[in-house]
Chain A
Amino acid sequence: MAELDRLIHEPARLRILTILAGVEAADFNFLLNTLGLTKGNLSSHIDRLEKAGYVKVEKSFNGRVPHTEFQITPEGREALEEYWRQLDSIRNLGSKAEEKE
């Protein structure tokens, strides 16, 4: 059995990717407000997801105010689906073992 993707397995990153999987795009404030993380913590998680190619970051300006938007990439979506497939199979193995006991 393949190992779980440790980058996605981290709870905050998993939630960031899951939220982004449900929408076309979300900005920094939305993720901050929904997850309740600090700015530094959220930036750090986003940075890792971006480096892994799972999230696309788009920076722009609303007037003079900087605006950062995030989108899940096809690779990110695929990795997230694979992660849940693997987790489900682990859960199934666990429940089968319980039944045998």
Chain B
Amino acid sequence: MASRKSTQSADPREIIQWTRRYAQSRTIYFLIQWCLIVFVICIIGLVASLTQQAYTAGNKSLFYTSVVFLSITFFFFIWISVSRWTAEVVWQITLWFYGREGFVSPEENTRSKQLPRWVIALIGLMLVYHIFGAILISFRYLHLQYLQPFSAIILVPVLCVLIYYQGLGFWAWLWPVLYGLHAILLLAGIPISFPSPWFLLNIMVPIFGYGLIAILVGHVYSRYALWKLKTVTRQGLEIDNNEEIPEEK
């Protein structure tokens, strides 16, 4: 064991910390899901727009065709959201991306095992709340411009609770924070909204845009955390790999 030099110089707490930070910041899984959801939503948006144009132009055959296509796309969206096949495909792509780095799962966290019932109820309430918001808009009780702040009232706390219970890294908190800030800036009269006919982007862009920012920040941080982890771990670990490991006495 001639080439084994100083041995225990790395602080173990640092190794544990950077391992945890790295494991919590592996966001490729979320990025693939994000791409998939945005892709399907874009298709739904395009078909919905086509349906509306066909209705306005009075083109009945195109209208009925696009309604059928819209229904198929909508059911496809529901199917990919709940199917095991999608989860498996996303997981396999994630493993392929991280192939060289290997697999690591964040520390077993009792919080993330199962969401409490009140959290599931809160998610249900959030959906009902947004449907209520859409009704308010359709009856002109609420202007589309205020849909994002209206949504932020419930989406921000729901996201915070979900992030807490899933034990995600700091990057995930960027999502509700940026979404909340966006709502405050809108209410303060800062001109950061899309004009007509792009009003719907005022809700879509903050939801998915800030989500993407958070995911990308997490990915960049995971590169840094891995570099730090390797540095800290290899400190004082100068072992000749060709050497045989002697038996302990």
Interface positions of A (Cβ within 8 A of B) = 6-7, 9-12, 14-15, 18-19, 21-38, 40-41, 44-45, 48, 62, 67, 69, 84, 87
Contacts and interface: CB of A to CB of B under 8 A. Distances in A.
B241 A41 contact: yes
Contacts of B103: 25-27, 29-30, 67, 69
Interface string B197-225: 00000000000000000000000000000
B140 interface: no
Report, nearest first, the 8 A-B pairs whose CB atoms are least far apart. A30-B102, A29-B102, A22-B19, A22-B16, A38-B241, A24-B108, A27-B103, A11-B7
B239 A26 contact: no
B86 interface: no
Given A23-B20, A34-B226, A44-B245, 9 more contacts: A11-B4, A21-B16, A22-B16, A22-B17, A23-B105, A24-B108, A33-B101, A41-B239, A87-B8
Given A24-B108, A34-B229, A67-B103, A19 B237 contact: no
Which range holds the interface residue count of chain B? 35 or more
Contacts, number: 104
Give the interface SS of chain A, mostly helix, strand, loop or mixed: helix
Given A22-B17, A84-B12, A33 B100 contact: yes
B236 interface: yes
Given A34-B229, A35-B237, A18 B105 contact: no
Given A24-B105, A30-B101, A19 B245 contact: no
19 contacts: A11-B7, A12-B239, A15-B237, A19-B229, A22-B18, A23-B20, A23-B105, A25-B103, A26-B102, A26-B104, A27-B103, A29-B102, A33-B230, A34-B230, A36-B230, A36-B237, A38-B241, A41-B239, A69-B103
